[in-house]
Amino acid sequence: MLNQLRLDHANMARMLHVLQLKHKTLASGERPDFQLMREVVDYILSYMDGFASPLEKICVERLQEQAPEHLPLMEQMASDYRKLKPRLSRLSDDIDMILMDNVLPMDRFAEALKAYLDAHRAYLRHEREGLFPLIDKHFSEEDMEELRQALPEGAEKELERLQQAYPELYAELRGAEVPSL
């Protein structure tokens, strides 16, 4: 189960890497593929909705019982994760505006994208360095089964759909190492 969580973590890091590449394109004064960005942002938002709440609930409950000394870390991580969604939702709205040919200051959009990427990467780093070792140490087989049930159904299929719809994304994900956070 922990391997699946690590795989999902790596896939999210790759998605963020795709957005980072689009940010670099934007920062160089060129127009990135906003439709591709739209799909990646939709995937991340969908993943957050289907995954964050159940995982957070299970982890906080188990760690409260088995390792209460780590509860502040879990609460901080949960708070950090909840702050990511409004940022990403604003970016999603901005991408919609851009795709509808509305005028939007690109420097403001680029700054918001960079801030989101930095915050989400920091969260993934805390997940890798803090959460995963705690899960490995404190969770029973029953806890791991609950986590397995909390994983979003179809996340891998959605990633495959994105890869088929966007060969550029597929090429970037296929060839990408898991970016260092």
Find the mean pLDDT for residues 124-144. 88
Q: What share of the chain is helix, strand, coil (3-state, %, to 5)?
A: 85, 0, 15
List, for residues 75-132, the tens digit of each pLDDT value: 888 889 889 999 999 999 999 999 999 999 999 999 999 999 999 999 999 989 998 8
Within-domain flag for 161: yes
Judged against a pLDDT cut of 90, whether residue 7 lies above it is answered with no
Q: What is the pLDDT of residues 24-80, one digit of tens each?
A: 999 999 999 999 899 899 888 877 876 766 777 777 778 888 889 998 988 888 889
What domain range is 96 assigned to?
Answer: 2-175
Residue 12 lies in a domain: yes
Q: pTM (2 decimals)?
A: 0.83
On whether residue 180 sits in a domain, the answer given is no
Burial grade of 174 (CB within 10 A; 0-12, 13-18, 19 or more) = exposed
d(CA 99, CA 119) in angstroms, rounded, equals 25
Q: What is the CATH number of the domain that holds 14?
A: 1.20.120.520
